[in-house]
Structure formats: C-alpha cells, structure tokens
C-alpha cells in the first residue's frame, strides 16, 4: 500500500508524463535528429551518408551562408529593438483610462490577426513603384521612383517595417497585461514621496515588468530569427541576395537543392545562435539572481 505522499508523487508523475512525452517527441527528438542529419550527406530520398563535420565546414566557408547570416542579424536587430520600444511606449499609453481605449487597442491589434500571407501581398502592393500607396505619399514629398523591394539599400527596411507593424501589437498586449498586474500602491507611494513619472517608470515599473519584458524580448527575438514568409513572398531573397535570410537559405538548400544535411547543419547553427541569445538575454535581465 502506497502512502499518501507516494500516491501524490505517483499521480503527479502520471499527469506530467503526457506533457514530457509530447515535448520529447515533438521538440527534443527532432533536434537530435536534425543534429544527426547535419553529420550526413542526404538528398531526402537516398540513404544518408556519414560525412562528419563537413557540412559545418562547408557552411562556414560558404559566402551564401555568411551573407544569409549577416542579413538575418540585420533584420533581427532592425525589427526587434523598435518593436520593444514602440510596444512598451504604446502599452504605457494604454495603461491609463481614456475614452475609446478598448476600441483603440482593438485597432492596434488588428494587423496581428491578419494572415501573414495576406499581409505580405498587401505590403507588396503598398510598395509598388507606380501604383502603391506609399509611392503616392513619397511622391508628395518629392521622393520619386522609389523601388522599395528592388533597391538593395532599401529592401531590408521594406521588410522590417511591415514586420514591426504586425508583431508590435501582440507584444504591446503582453506588456499591457504586465503593467496591469503591477499594484497601483507602489507607484502611488513613489509619487507621494515626490518621484516624477520618469523616475516612477524607471525605478518602479520597469524593474517590476522585468519578467514580462524578458518574455517579450526572447520570444520576439526568436520569431525574428525565424523570419521566412515575408522574404519568400515579397522578395524571394532578392534583389541579388539582399534579403536571403537564414530560414530561406535553409529551405532552399533542404527542399530545392536537396542538400538536407547542409540545411540541417544551418538549422543547428541557427538553433545555437538562438540559444546563445536567449541565455545572454536571461543573464542581462538577471534571471535567477533574485532572492
């Protein structure tokens, strides 16, 4: 006969098993398999041939991979930093009562619920050099003939702008929820003690918002690194290879050139980079140091 404590432990294990199994089968196992395949030459159909670290060696000497890595890094920093700043600013703005607040939140949230494919097609039309809305606007200011999606100097920005617009609302809502959970007493006490709004924000709100901010920072960074659809639908990685982001490089190598081993090696590199960034962010936010 099991004791109450043993029964409790047994039941908790039983309840946890499905989640662990799901995580193991659908997350951990694919990562292990990707790593295994990254050590092989494989064209999807034939039997994989073990080639050691050759795929990694080929990757780091490939100008295409290095270019993709650089493009992705630029895209990530160009996207996420404005997203964090704007989302936080808008969340602070919405963290007070005013007329029509819910309607404004809904309007801000709207781009997030639009399908990404539709969003990309819409922006492609907006950017059109002859018929696009943006062209009409830039024309008014005397900037004529701007080829947003075909100018290598502008194209990355042209992908970043719609992404900020689309991703920002979701982050804003998360931050708004975080702001809402901060007890009013803290800020009111600080104000009574003579702190101005900026000091209240900096010394009270921001530290208390840290766990939520950390979540937003990590999730938005990971999703920015995984960008695929806008680059595939709006530019196909062009002009030249100006927007050939890493996921596009992986897709092309894996499914079009059938270099699955190389694609897996690139995926592992992306995984390691994301891991490193996430750990760095955890450290930066002092995760685990608190009491």
Partner 1 sequence: MRSRYSIFALLITTAVVLLGFSGVIYAKTELVYWIHGYEPAVVANKEIIQQFEALYPDVNIRFDYVPHDDFETKLFTAFAAGVGPDVYWIADNVFPQMLESDMVDAVMPSAFGVDSQAEFETLFEPGALEAFKVDGTLYTAGISEYNTLSVYYDKAAFREAGLPYPSATEPMTVAEFIELGQKLTKIEKNRRIRSGIEFEWRLPNWISQTVEPWVRQLGGELVDPETGMPQFDSEEVITVVQLLQDLVFKYETSDPAFVLQDHVEDFAYGRVAMVLGGPFHMGFTRGLKPDMEIGVMPFPVFEGSPRVTTKYSWAWMVNPHSRNRELAWKFAAFAATEHQGLWWNNVRFIQPLKGKMDQLIEAEPLMETFVADFEYSKYQFSSTQYYELAHILLQAVSEVTSAPVDVRQVMERAQKEALGAVGL
Provide the binding-site residues for partner 1, judged by CB under 8 A: 43-46, 62-64, 121, 124-125, 128-131, 135, 139, 144-145, 147-152, 236-242, 244, 252, 255-258
Which residue matches tokens 């960074």? 221
Give the residue with the Cβ less far from partner 1, 33 or 197: 33
Identify which of residues 101 and 236 has a Cβ nearer to partner 1 in the complex: 236
Q: Given the complex with partner 1, which of 110 and 125 has the nearer CB atom?
A: 125
Q: Is 239 exposed, middle or buried (0-12, 13-18, 19+ CB in 10 A)?
A: middle
Q: Which is nearer to partner 1, 82 or 238 (CB)?
A: 238
Nearer to partner 1, 1 or 118 (CB): 118
DSSP 150-181: T-TTTHHHHHHHHHHHHHHHHHHHHHHHHHHT
Q: How far is the CB of 251 from partner 1 (least distance, A)?
A: 9
Burial letters 115-153, b for 16+ CB under 10 A, else e: eeeebbeebbebbebeebebbeebeeeeeeebebbeeee
Mapped onto helix, strand or coil, the DSSP state of residue 49 is: strand
Q: How far is the CB of 141 from partner 1 (least distance, A)?
A: 14
Smallest distance, Å, CB 63 to partner 1? Answer: 7
247-253 long-range Cβ contacts below 8 angstroms, 24+ apart: 247/72, 248/68, 249/64, 249/65, 249/68
Shortest spacing between CB 130 and partner 1, in angstroms: 5
Task: Give the residue among 151, 187, 148, 157 at the shortest CA–CA distance from 71.
Answer: 157
Minimum distance between the CB of residue 45 and partner 1, rounded to whole angstroms? 4
The nearest distance, CB 199 to partner 1, in angstroms, is 49
Q: Give CA–CA dist 274/248, Å, rounded.
A: 16
Distances (CA, A) of 13 to 19, 28, 45, 82: 10, 19, 40, 43
Least distance between partner 1 and beta carbon 29 (Å): 16
Closer CB to partner 1, 110 or 157, in the complex: 157
- Cα dihedral value 112, 114, 146, 244, nearest 10: 80
Interatomic CA distance for residues 197 and 212, integer angstroms: 20
- Minimum separation from the CB atom of position 262 to partner 1 (A): 11
Helices 155-180 and 206-225: crossing angle in degrees, nearest 10, is 150
Closest to partner 1 by CB, 3 or 46: 46
């Amino acid at each position: 006969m099991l004791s109450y404590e043993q029964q409790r432990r047994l039941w908790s294990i039983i309840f946890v098993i499905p989640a662990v199994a799901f995580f193991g089968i659908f997350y951990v196992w694919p990562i292990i398999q990707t790593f295994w395949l990254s050590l092989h030459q494989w064209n999807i159909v034939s039997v994989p041939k073990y080639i050691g670290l050759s795929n990694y060696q080929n990757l780091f000497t490939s100008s295409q991979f290095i270019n993709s890595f650089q493009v992705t890094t630029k895209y990530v920093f160009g996207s996420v930093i404005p997203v964090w700043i704007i989302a936080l600013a808008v969340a602070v703005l919405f963290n007070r009562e005013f007329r029509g607040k819910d309607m404004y939140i809904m309007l801000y949230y709207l781009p997030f619920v639009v399908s990404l494919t539709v969003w990309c097609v819409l922006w492609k039309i907006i950017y059109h050099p002859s018929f696009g809305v943006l062209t009409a606007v830039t024309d008014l200011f005397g900037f004529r003939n701007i080829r947003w999606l075909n100018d290598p100097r502008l194209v990355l920005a042209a992908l970043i702008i719609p992404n900020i617009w689309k991703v920002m609302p979701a982050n804003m809502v998360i931050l708004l929820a975080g702001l809402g959970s901060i007890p009013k007493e803290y800020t009111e006490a600080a104000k009574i003690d003579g702190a101005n709004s900026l000091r209240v924000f900096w010394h009270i709100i921001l530290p208390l918002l840290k766990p939520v901010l950390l979540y937003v920072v990590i999730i938005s960074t990971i999703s920015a690194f995984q960008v695929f659809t806008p680059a595939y639908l709006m530019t196909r990685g062009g002009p030249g290879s100006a927007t050939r982001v890493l996921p596009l490089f992986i897709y092309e190598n894996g499914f079009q050139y059938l270099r699955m081993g190389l694609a897996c090696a690139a995926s592992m590199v992306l995984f390691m980079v994301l891991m490193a960034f996430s750990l760095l962010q955890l450290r930066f936010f002092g995760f685990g140091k608190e009491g």
